[in-house]
Structure 1
Amino acid sequence: MTTPATVVDGLPTQSAVEVAAVVIVATGVVAVLAAVFRWYFRQQIPFGVALLVDATVVTLYLNTRVALGQAISGSTGPLEPLVVAFNLAAFAVAGALVVPGIRAGDRLGVLVLGATDTRELAADVGGFVQSVGRAIAVDLPEDIADIEGYDPVSGDVKSELAGKTLVFPRRLTVEQLRERVTARLKDDYDVGYVDVELDEDGTVSYLALGRRVAGIGPTLPPGTAAVAAHADPPYAASSGDLVQVWSVADSARERVATAEIRGVHGDAVTLAVDDADAQRVAGGDFRLATLPREPGADHQFAALLRGADETMTVVSVAAGSDLDGATVRDAAGVVVAVRSSGSVDSIPDRSRTLAAGDTVYAVVRPDAARRLETATAAPDAPDATDAP
């Protein structure tokens, strides 16, 4: 069978042009891929990957060319020798130009795309962490401090974390990386609070840890105590319910105290009562009468605060400090109250001016609490980051 003219006619004169065209396209694709690979992964593209892409481009062209010619002519006969020679020449020349394509694209990624990426990093305050390689390696310092105001973590945890390297994916901003480090330490090492400072390249400049406060002691108001007693709490009784405590003696049934339920386990109930009633209630048998009451704002706030990363901190503004004469807006965290000259300004306006002697109550994370303490300290006071 004679091969149709649409496939073979003019092939000797057109082969050189077609080979050059397909090779240029394949080499261009390899160069673009090498540039993108250098920009994203900060290393040269593997030769095998580039060769595979190069051969794929040539194969797609050849398959399309032959299939289109056969479809137009209606021929399914064998390929002519000139067609085979054209195919082999295209693969050979394209393969020979893989290395130059890799070098050109890699150079483009370094000079153009790399420079663009650096400008973006410099322009963005929370820019991407400037790391090298496919991942960000964060080395924890050997010296791990304790967060002031929190229970310290155990020495075993500190020893395990000292000098440890944590690996995270690339393309994270400094703030995202800080959140990843904090979450990793909390989830994997049972740490309650993390105060970490990171440089632009992911280096940990400061690390302090604290253990989450356990128990109900920190949530008890002044003048109260928590005691355990035997009682008959309602089925739906839960922490925060206000109850009357009645004695069960047949001779004299009387109300012993008014208390707040803090825990229920079977017929054992933990009650928060006044100090004066603690001795009378502890360990006795009582009946409880639940009183209607909306959950107090103080208890709701305490419950939310116990489960959050933030905590309440109280600082005094020293004369000459950074916040002396500044506004509430300049303080780190959320300022919930300011005490000045005996009066308390709750939820102060953000434009309120702070003065020396003011006491600031703020809900902040540990790292923000450290910055707030530094901003309210006297100029000659030591920096919070220098604490052992």
Structure 2
Amino acid sequence: MIDPELVVSLAREAAVGFVGTALLAATAGLLVAGGYRWLSTRSPPSGIPALLGLTAVAGVLSSGALASGAFLGAVPFDHRLSAGYLLGTMLLGGIAATAGGRLGDRIACQVADLERIDANGEAAAAVRSARLAVEITLPEPIATATGYQAVDPAVHRALSGATIRLPHGLTPTARRERLERHIERDYDVGYAAVTLADDGTVDRVLVGRQSTGLGSMVPRGAVAIAIRADPSPDASLGDPVAIWSTDGHTEPELVATGTLRTMTRSIATVIVDAALAAELPADDHYRLLTYPDEPTDGYEFASTLRTVEETVTTLSIDSDGPLVGEFAGWLPGRVLVIERGNDRLPLPADNETLESEDELWVLASPSDLTAFDPTPTDDCPPPRSSI
């Protein structure tokens, strides 16, 4: 039978412990919150008063348990009364520390004459509005960049009229760059060019898809084929090579001539005439030999061009067009070649005068090429020749 006096004694001791630890936690929270507000004029971080209040309670309980060997009277540590007392003490301590923190914050504001900002007031709304994102609406329709392949129609539909959010306070240049990166990354577009109006809105968006593979670099009537071969030590990209067969022959036999495109260990990719492709079975082994020819950097130039924004396109000078009589150096970009009848003028001087019926090969970025077409649309045909 339980001794009534023991029950009363334990209840009295538990009540004193609850009240004492709650007051200790509230005092700790009050001092921490009040001191933080006094020194920094800012609200204390959420949860810090409660954490320090519980730390004080845990310190008192630990020191008492070490001194007496129990949390409550002579009740052992593994008894359920000890567990209930410990949980109740910590719960009341957390509540008291939180309440004490709020009280200490208000007292410090009153003493230091600090005005607390209402989270739902006009001042808080003005502060939050300074960090709101700016919504940018893209125009309709989205045009195709000159010199680039058209993207999927679904991408055009997704971009037309789309709303993009950007941070507030960006400069026009930073806003344009952020928009271009966002379109290229989120819509899987190879190239994007954005033109902003004076008021910061988007005036025009040009998108395009960059060529992949070797198809755009293979001349008409030729094919690119991979063969197993031992290359010449001095063979490099774009070199003309002779392809000799070494399988099933006592003497090497010339099979075809072509141009070396790439070489990875024993696998070479060569560009040969389409009619000779059947003469190069994939299972045979070949030897590549270079032969004298004029050196050229054309393939290296084409490889570099595929990785940059600039593109090469052709431009016709109409007899009644505005470019007749202009200098080649005045055009956007760089004029590479002028085809004038049966003559070709490579890298013409800046003061070379353009004539009627000239065909120009121009190296320029799509944004520069828009100067020749001020109102591009999705229905515009692609350039007649590009790399």
TM range (shorter): 0.5 to 0.7
Q: Does the aligned pair in 1 maintain the 2:238–2:298 contact within 8 Å? A: no
Contact 1:336–1:346, Cα closer than 8 Å, also in 2: yes
1:223 to partner: Cα distance: 4.3
Determine what percentage of the aligned residue pairs are the same residue: 31
Tell me if 1:384 matches 2:376.
yes
Q: How does 1:335-374 map to 2 (within 5 A)?
A: 335-373=335-373
* Cα distance between partner residues in 2 of 1:342 and 1:177: 47
Aligned amino acid, residue 209 of structure 1: V
CA shift for structure 1 position 365? 1.6
Instruction: Provide the TM-score with structure 2 as the length reference.
Output: 0.56
Distance 1:266 1:284 in 2: 16
Give the conservation status (yes or no) of the 8 Å contact 1:153–1:209. Answer: yes
Give runs of aligned pairs for residues 1-388 of structure 1, distance below 5 A. Answer: 135-147=133-145, 149-170=147-168, 172-233=170-231, 239-240=237-238, 242-248=240-246, 249-264=248-263, 267-291=266-290, 296-373=296-373, 383-385=375-377, 387=379
TM norm structure 1:
0.56
Runs (5+) with no aligned partner, structure 1: 1-51, 57-87, 96-102, 107-131, 375-382
Change beyond 3 A, Cα 1:219–1:244: same
Sort the Cα spacing of 1:179 and 1:266 in 2 relative to 1 into closer, same or farther, 3 A.
same
Amino acid at match of 1:384: P
Partner SS for 2:278: helix
Between the aligned partners of 2:318 and 2:202, the Cα distance in structure 1 is: 30
CA contact (8 A) 2:332 2:368 kept: yes
Q: Quick one: distance in 1 between partners of 2:169 and 2:259?
A: 51
Paired with 2:295 and 2:147, the residues of 1 have a C-alpha distance of 28
Please list every run of at least 4 consecutive aligned residues from structure 1 whose deviation after the TM superposition is greater than 6 angstroms. 234-238, 292-295
- d(CA) in 2 for partners of 1:227, 1:138: 48
Residues 326/172 of structure 1: CA separation in 2 closer, same or farther (3 Å cut): farther
Distance of aligned partners of 1:373 and 1:347 in 2 relative to their CA distance in 1, 3 Å threshold: farther
Q: Which has the larger radius of gyration?
A: 2
SS at match of 2:352: coil
Give 1:321 deviation, angstroms: 2.5
Partners of 2:353 and 2:173 in 1: CA distance: 29
What is the CA deviation profile of residues 114-155 of structure 1, one whole-angstrom value per residue up to 9, with x for unaligned ones?
Answer: xxxxxxxxxxxxxxxxxx976543222342233455332223
* Alignment partners' CA distance in 2, 1:343 and 1:168: 52
Aligned alpha-carbon RMSD (Å): 4.0
Give the conservation status (yes or no) of the 8 Å contact 1:147–1:209.
yes
Deviation at 1:327, TM superposition (A): 2.1
Q: Do 2:224 and 2:270's aligned partners in 1 also have CA atoms closer than 8 Å?
A: yes
In structure 1, distance between residues paired with 2:179 and 2:367: 13
Q: 1:140 to 1:273 in 2, by over 3 A?
A: same
Specify the SS of the correspondent of 2:309.
coil
Instruction: Give the aligned partner of residue 66 of structure 2.
Output: none
Distance 1:344 1:324 in 2: 18
Q: Displacement of 1:218 after TM fit?
A: 1.0
Q: Counterpart amino acid of 2:243?
A: V
Q: Per-residue displacement from partner, 1:307-361 (whole Å, max 9, x unpaired)?
A: 0111001111123333222222331222222223433222222233223222221
8 A Cα contact 2:146 2:369, kept in partner: no
Structure 2 counterpart of 1:197, one-letter code: T
Tell me the SS of whatever aligns to 1:197: strand
